[in-house]
Amino acid sequence: MDAFLILEDGQVFKGKSFGARKEVICEVVFNTSMTGYLEVLTDPSYQGQGVVMTYPLIGNYGVCLEDAESVKPWHSAFIVRELSRTASNFRSEQDLESYLIANDIPGIQGVDTRAITKILREEGCMGGMITTNPDYDLDEILPKLKGYQVKDAVKTVSRTEKEHFPGDGLKVALLDLGTKSNIANSLNKRGCDVTVYPAFTTAEEILGDQPDGIMLSNGPGDPKECVSIIKEIKKLYDSDVPIFAICLGHQLMALANGADTRKMRFGHRGGNHPVKDLATGRVYISSQNHGYVIKKESVPKNLAEISFINVNDKSIEGLRYKGKNVRTVQFHPEASPGPVDTAYLFDEFIEMMKGAKNA
């Protein structure tokens, strides 16, 4: 069946429908990962978005549910150059199209993803629609696409009840802003006893459980929408409990302390983004998924120092807060685009917690 991807600037790409047969409006973004499409699909940070995969063949190793980053995929739509109908992998449990149908996610294949990516790089991420209706009306559709915004993103993806992942080591409170499962797994593997809290949990409840450290997770949407969460994060910051924050958590911590954020033109999404540790000069390859970034000029010099920058565009990739046991990064140290380059940051967090506990 024919399908159409319509962008808010009026450009239309014709391809073939796969996955769920439904019409959807979303924010169209692109991801440059060569592998890991299941991890991309199940990352809650993509809530409300239709993702263009720049790698041309997707689905060739099927769906290995053990690799999922949450209980279900969060994309609004999936856009690929070529869908592999055959899954060649002894771990595969189903093919990609069956997985998308089961989770009610539409896809389009056979479109020029290189051309679409170039448009998004030049004009920025934009609203889009996938439809199988050949009689679409651009005059009716384009105003809807131009007005589309991802709303209530964190509320949509965060769990509603606490969840405990037992361990015999340090006690960590993980605030679920749209967390990937590998964050809790990375802490568990290091012996930590992890309790995951819904995004709107009060600081008083978290601190009342007397954690040795606090993790702020990744998540979707505009960080400035999280007004009530930001207020609670400021209380957590003032508590002097060691904190490590990733992605959205990194942005919310900055907002809680007077810094500012801005929307990027097309964001950083993929498993091949170089980040530089300013203390050592070493460059790491990182996994990233974000459309907002902290404004450099907005960070008070007496508040924090920049610890990591993006090698490509020099944007902030990490902050080290002065006089506090608080470290934050924009990228994903729990993800493995190849070597587990930045997983050591979890070890540093554990040492920070031990130091605070023994002080």
Residues 206-252 have pLDDT tens digits of 999 999 999 999 999 999 999 999 999 999 999 999 999 999 999 99
Catalytic annotation, residues = 247, 332, 334
Residue 335, pLDDT score: 86
Q: What is the CATH number of the domain that holds 94?
A: 3.50.30.20
* In a shared domain, residues 240 and 334: yes
* In a shared domain, residues 92 and 159: no
* In a shared domain, residues 307 and 289: yes
Domain boundary among 131, 149, 167: 149
Amino acid sitting at position 233: I
Domain boundary among 133, 149, 165: 149
pLDDT digits (tens, 9 = 90+) for 312-333: 999 999 999 999 999 999 999 9
* In a shared domain, residues 260 and 174: yes
d(CA 71, CA 68): 7
Q: How far is CA 237 from CA 51, 100, 123, 129, 209, in A?
A: 34, 40, 37, 41, 16
Q: How far is CA 211 from CA 60, 207, 214, in A?
A: 43, 7, 7
Mean pLDDT for 171-199 is 97
Cβ–Cβ under 8 Å, residues 57 and 84: yes
292 is in an annotated binding site: yes
Q: How far is CA 216 from CA 57, 114, 252, 299, 321, in A?
A: 34, 35, 9, 19, 15
CB atoms within 10 A of CB 122: 9
* In a shared domain, residues 14 and 78: yes
Domain boundary among 149, 178, 203: 149
* In a shared domain, residues 246 and 352: yes
158 is in an annotated binding site: no
Residue 62, pLDDT score: 97
* In a shared domain, residues 186 and 309: yes
Instruction: Read off the pLDDT band of 358 (50, 70, 90).
Output: confident
* In a shared domain, residues 270 and 180: yes
289 is in an annotated binding site: yes
* In a shared domain, residues 142 and 167: no
- The answer, yes or no, to whether residue 160 has pLDDT greater than 80, is yes
- The answer, yes or no, to whether residue 337 has pLDDT greater than 70, is no
pLDDT, the chain, mean = 96
221 is in an annotated binding site: yes
Q: How far is CA 175 from CA 245, 274, 292, in A?
A: 9, 27, 19
Query: In terms of residue numbers, what domain contains 290?
Result: 154-358
* In a shared domain, residues 223 and 279: yes
pTM of the model: 0.96
* In a shared domain, residues 187 and 314: yes
- The answer, yes or no, to whether residue 338 has pLDDT greater than 70, is no
Q: What is the CATH number of the domain that holds 280?
A: 3.40.50.880
* In a shared domain, residues 189 and 333: yes
d(CA 86, CA 118): 29
Instruction: Read off the pLDDT band of 43 (50, 70, 90).
Output: very high
Q: How many domains does the chain have?
A: 2
pLDDT digits (tens, 9 = 90+) for 59-109: 999 999 999 999 999 999 999 999 998 999 999 999 999 999 999 999 999
